[in-house]
Amino acid sequence: MKAVSRTPMRVLKTPRVHQTTEKHRRETSEKAKDPVNVFCRVRPLQSDGDLTSLRVKSSTTIALNPHDQLLQHHKQNGAQREIQYIFKHVFQSDATQQDVFASVAQPLVENLVRGRNSLLFTYGVTGSGKTYTMTGNLRHRGIMPRCLDVLFRTISDFQAKKFVFKPDKLNGFEILSEEDALLERQHEMNQRFAGSGRFAYRNKDSDPEIASQASVEPMPLLGLDEDNMYSVFVTYVEIYNNSVYDLLEDSGIQKTLQSKIIREDADHHMFVHGVTEVEVKTVEDALEVFQMGQKKKRMGHTVLNAESSRSHSVFNIRLVQAPTDNQGENVVQDRQKITVSQLSLVDLAGSERSSRTKNTGVRLREAGNINNSLMTLRTCLEYLRENQQAAINGFAHKKIPYRDSKITHMFKNYFDGEGQVSMIVCINPRMEDYDENMQVMKFAEMTQEVQIARATPIKTDLGLTPGRRKANKLFKIAVKNLNELGMSEAKDLKVDVGLVYSLGPDFPFCQVDSPEAEVKIQELMHYLEQRIEKRKRLRANLDIKCDNFRQMLMNLDRDNLQLSTELASLKAVYKQERERSFALEKKVRIHESSIDVLNNTLTKRDRQIEELTFKLNEKENLLTQTEHEKEKQKKKFSSKMAVESDKNKRELEIKLRQQREKLHERMRIKDEKLRLVSNIIRSEDLPSMPRSQSSEDLLNEKDRGPFTARTESSVPATRTDIYATPRHGVAAANNRHRRSRSAGDKWLEHRAANPVPLGTIMQPFLKNRKSVTKLTDMKTLTEHGANKYCLVSQEADTDGDVETKLYKGNVIPTCGGGAQVVFNDIECLKQKSPVHSPTRKRPSNGTMSALGVASALPSTVTSITVQDVASRCNLGIEGHSNKKTKI
Integer Cα distance of 629 and 626 in angstroms: 5
Q: 271-309: b or e for each residue (b if 16 or more CB lie within 10 Å)?
A: bbeebbbbbbeebbbbbbbbbbbbeebbebebebbeebb
Instruction: Return the CATH number of the domain spanning residue range 35-453.
Output: 3.40.850.10
Res. 99 pLDDT band, cuts 50 70 90 = very high
Integer Cα distance of 126 and 577 in angstroms: 81
The number of CA neighbours under 13 Å toward the Cβ of 352 is 29
Mean pLDDT value of segment 485-499: 60
Partners of residue 814 on adjacent β-strands: none
Mean pLDDT value of segment 294-312: 65
Res. 736 pLDDT band, cuts 50 70 90 = very low
DSSP structural state of residue 102: I
pLDDT surpassing 70 at residue 80? no
Mean pLDDT value of segment 244-272: 84
More confident residue, 356 or 270: 270
Per-residue pLDDT, 112: 93
CB atoms within 10 A of CB 185: 14
Inter-residue long-range contacts of 162-167, CB under 8 Å, 24+ positions, other chains counted: 162/188, 162/231, 162/279, 162/281, 163/188, 163/279, 164/229, 164/231, 164/331, 165/231, 165/233, 165/279, 165/320, 165/322, 165/338, 167/233, 167/277
Per-residue pLDDT, 740: 46
Per-residue pLDDT, 204: 45
Per-residue pLDDT, 222: 81
Partners of residue 718 on adjacent β-strands: 834
pLDDT surpassing 50 at residue 76? no
Question: What 3-state DSSP class applies to 196?
Answer: coil
Integer Cα distance of 396 and 791 in angstroms: 152
pLDDT in tens, 652-674: 999 999 999 999 999 999 999 99
Q: Is 127 annotated as a binding residue?
A: yes
Per-residue pLDDT, 497: 58
Res. 477 pLDDT band, cuts 50 70 90 = confident
Span of 257-266, 351-360, 677-686, 818-827 with lowest mean pLDDT? 351-360
Mean pLDDT value of segment 545-551: 88
How high is the mean pLDDT of the chain?
Answer: 76
Per-residue pLDDT, 495: 60
Question: What 3-state DSSP class applies to 639?
Answer: helix
What DSSP element (H or E) covers 91? strand 89-91
Cβ atoms 731, 725 nearer than 8 A = yes
Same fold, 35-453 and 705-886: no
Task: Write down the domain spans for the chain.
Answer: 1-30+501-682, 35-453, 705-886
Per-residue pLDDT, 393: 67
Q: Is 130 annotated as a binding residue?
A: yes
pLDDT surpassing 60 at residue 527? yes
pLDDT surpassing 50 at residue 878? no
pLDDT surpassing 50 at residue 738? no
Q: Is 52 annotated as a binding residue?
A: no
Question: What are the backbone dihedrals phi and psi of residue 499, each rounded to the nearest 5 degrees, phi first?
Answer: -80, 150
Which residue type sits at 26? R
DSSP structural state of residue 247: T
User: Of the spans 53-67, 309-323, 729-743, which averages the highest pLDDT?
Assistant: 309-323
Per-residue pLDDT, 69: 44
pLDDT surpassing 50 at residue 523? yes
Per-residue pLDDT, 53: 82
Integer Cα distance of 594 and 292 in angstroms: 68
pLDDT surpassing 80 at residue 382? yes
Instruction: Return the CATH number of the domain spanning residue range 705-886.
Output: 2.60.40.4330
Q: Is 252 annotated as a binding residue?
A: no
Q: Is 293 annotated as a binding residue?
A: no
pLDDT in tens, 750-779: 888 888 777 666 677 787 888 888 877 777
Cβ atoms 130, 201 nearer than 8 A = no
Mean pLDDT value of segment 65-92: 68
- Entry pTM: 0.55
pLDDT in tens, 397-429: 788 899 999 999 999 988 887 889 999 999 988
CB atoms within 10 A of CB 251: 11
Integer Cα distance of 711 and 758 in angstroms: 15
pLDDT in tens, 123-181: 988 888 899 999 988 888 999 999 999 999 999 889 999 999 999 888 899 999 888 88
Res. 729 pLDDT band, cuts 50 70 90 = very low
Res. 705 pLDDT band, cuts 50 70 90 = very low
Mean pLDDT value of segment 370-395: 84
CA 66 to chain centre: 47
Span of 153-157, 251-255, 625-629 with lowest mean pLDDT? 251-255
Integer Cα distance of 267 and 272 in angstroms: 14
Which residue type sits at 258? Q
Res. 201 pLDDT band, cuts 50 70 90 = very low
Span of 172-181, 302-311, 641-650, 778-787 with lowest mean pLDDT? 302-311
Res. 216 pLDDT band, cuts 50 70 90 = low
Mean pLDDT value of segment 688-697: 43
What DSSP element (H or E) covers 298? none
pLDDT surpassing 90 at residue 262? yes
Mean pLDDT value of segment 371-383: 89
